[in-house]
Amino acid sequence: MTRMLLAGAALLALSVGASAQTIGFSQIGSESGWRAAETTLTKQQAEERGYTLQFSDAQQRQENQIAAIRSFVAQGVDAILLAPVVATGWDAVLQEAKEAEIPVVLLDRQVDSSDDLYLTAVGSDLVHEGKVAGEWLAKEVGDDKCRVVELQGTTGSSPAIDRAKGFRDGIAGKANIEIVRSQTGDFTRALGKTVMESFLQAEGGGKDICALYAHNDDMAIGAIQAIKEAGLKPGQDIKIVSIDAVPDIFQAMAAGEANATVELTPNMAGPAFDALEKFWKDGTVPPKFIQTESKLYTQADDPQGEYERRKDLGY
From 27-35, 88-96, 202-210, 296-304, span contacting ligand AHR (CB under 6 A):
27-35
From 16-24, 26-34, 138-146, 279-287, span contacting ligand AHR (CB under 6 A):
26-34
- In the structure, how many helices (H) and strands (E) does the chain have? 11, 12
42 binds ligand AHR (CB under 6 A): no
What is the DSSP track for 165-225? HHHHHHTTT-TTEEEEEEEE-TT-HHHHHHHHHHHHHHTGGGTT--EEEESSHHHHHHHHH
Taking the complex as a whole, the smallest distance from the CB of residue 35 to ligand AHR amounts, in Å, to 5
250 near 219, Cβ under 8 Å? no
Say whether 53 sits in a helix, a strand or coil: strand
Nearest-angstrom CA–CA distance, 245 and 166: 18
106 near 87, Cβ under 8 Å? no
Taking the complex as a whole, the smallest distance from the CB of residue 64 to ligand AHR amounts, in Å, to 16
Single out the residue of 21, 26, 35, 199 in contact with ligand AHR (rule: CB under 6 A).
Answer: 35
Site string for ligand AHR, 195-224 (x = CB under 6 A): ---------------------x-x------
Nearest-angstrom CA–CA distance, 135 and 42: 32
Single out the residue of 164, 243, 269, 275 in contact with ligand AHR (rule: CB under 6 A).
Answer: 243
Taking the complex as a whole, the smallest distance from the CB of residue 220 to ligand AHR amounts, in Å, to 10
Taking the complex as a whole, the smallest distance from the CB of residue 14 to ligand AHR amounts, in Å, to 36
Number of residues lying near ligand AHR (CB under 6 A): 13
Q: Where are the beta strands (DSSP E) in 64-111?
A: 79-82, 104-107
Contact residues: ligand AHR, CB under 6 A: 31-32, 34-35, 108-109, 159, 187, 216, 218, 243-244, 264
